[in-house]
Amino acid sequence: MTSSMNNALEKVKNAIKNVKIIEIDEREAKIEVESENTLPVLSILKGEGYFHLSLLTAVDWMEKNEFELIYILYSWNDGGKFIVSTKIDREKAEFVTVMHMWPVARFYERELHEFFGIKFAGNNDMKPLFLENWDDIPPLRKDFDPLEYSKKKFPEREYQKDIIHEAKIIRGDING
């Protein structure tokens, strides 16, 4: 890791207990924090020059019954990147907004609300961002079945003959 990343990590470790740091690459590290310590970690990193919020997204860990929220912070001084990750409960998916630190987070949070059903306290703009007239559970949750939904809503072409079988005969995979 670069020296400025080490300095930032020292500050994080001094201020907050229970942080787990995983070094991924020379300029990339993952910081796993408790959900109540996430905003302090983000604001420390922002003060250390990691002020560009590249991405805010979520991962659905259905077996563990939790969502992992991921904030990626980038530094334009030395190209360092921090991945700040925190776990929240899947049943009661709520977190606090970071709109006061990064106004662009409004749209990331709208997207997460639309595709995972996560609510963000402090962000009142929770209109759908991409989908129109959505009528099922949020589509990027792991318990959503896209194939079943597609079969229900968008009928497929019905072929008269078994075209795949014929193509295999033509290609020589099976003897006709």
Does 144 interact with another protein (rule: CB under 8 A)?
A: yes
Instruction: Give me the residue label for tokens 């969502």.
Output: 67
Selected from 91, 143, 155, 176, the binder of another protein by CB under 8 A is: 155
Q: Which stretch binds another protein (CB under 8 A): 22-30, 53-61, 87-95, 126-134?
A: 126-134
Distance of CA 168 to the CA centre of its chain: 41
Selected from 150, 165, 167, 169, the binder of another protein by CB under 8 A is: 150
The span from the CA of 1 to the CA of 70, in Å, is 20
Selection from 93, 75, 56, 58 nearest residue 1 by Cα: 75
Does 139 interact with another protein (rule: CB under 8 A)?
A: yes
Q: Which stretch binds another protein (CB under 8 A): 28-36, 38-46, 74-82, 139-147?
A: 139-147
Does 147 interact with another protein (rule: CB under 8 A)?
A: yes
Alpha helices in 16-159 (DSSP H): 38-47, 105-115, 146-153
CB-based contact 75:81 (threshold 8 Å)? yes
Q: The tokens of 146 are what?
A: 């896209």
Residues 156-175 within binding reach of another protein (CB under 8 A):
156-157
List residues near another protein by CB under 8 A: 127, 130-133, 135-136, 139, 144, 146-147, 149-150, 153-157
